[in-house]
Structure 1
Amino acid sequence: MIKGIHHKGYHVVDMEKTLDFYCGKLGFERAFDLDTDEGDPWIVYVKVADQSFLEFFYDGSVEKKNQLNHICFVVDDIDGEAERIKEQGIPFVQEVSKGKDNNYQFWIQDPDGNYLEFMQLEPDSPQMNS
């Protein structure tokens, strides 16, 4: 069952200006950062409310730039939700896997090619501790 919207992802050209706008001017809180496997900056999470984030991707830091612009739905049973989606005949862009943030996720696209992420939050994830 879908519980709500967890985050919205954005591709960012100038991270400092973005953080100044969202944190400095709008008053949101920089929650945590994730780096690539090579140790390069990858994502900055900004907390909007409890378990609600904006996800800012650095310019050129990942291969699938078109996937950066996405919406993420939080679910309570990732495998059950994946099975429900498969039963509808919707193809997966990415099967259920564990992300760098320790949460389980899978990805699909809507009929217009917009990316949708489904995520099950794990107790040891940074989102649960921010």
Structure 2
Amino acid sequence: MISAIGHAAFDCYNFESTLDFYNRILGFEEMFRLHNEKDELWIVYLRVNDETYIELFPQQGEAPPKSGSYSHLCLQVNDIEITISQMVQHGVTIDVPIQTGKDGNRQAWIKDPEGNRIEFMQMMPDSLQMRAIERIKATKIAG
């Protein structure tokens, strides 16, 4: 049975600025680096928390056209006002300012140096997600 999402992995064509963004600006601590058989940097492993990580894969040349169905990475935050204020202080462009989504959570959007969309989400007590969690918990207790 699946217990969690372990990591998200990104190919990085602007590796240094992307590493700086995730490490210094978002605050994800670098855990370790892996090298390939030619001793070239292969992966940098960053810690979001004790159960979730980001892998950055340095790439050479130009980024290929986007393919696949990846949409965005959502980072859950405790206080979206503080988070967005910190992003602005670091010079990060806020693509979508703080708003309440249709699910009842507060959200705002940015992009990383690779152009990947990132959503910051503050879970609100009366959001659809929190109501569903309470419903599931009640069903398990009753069952």
TM-score normalised over the length of structure 1: 0.47
TM-score normalised over the length of structure 2: 0.43
Q: Identify, as 1 or 2, the structure richer in strand.
A: 1
Q: Identify, as 1 or 2, the structure richer in helix.
A: 2
Which one has the largest radius of gyration? 2
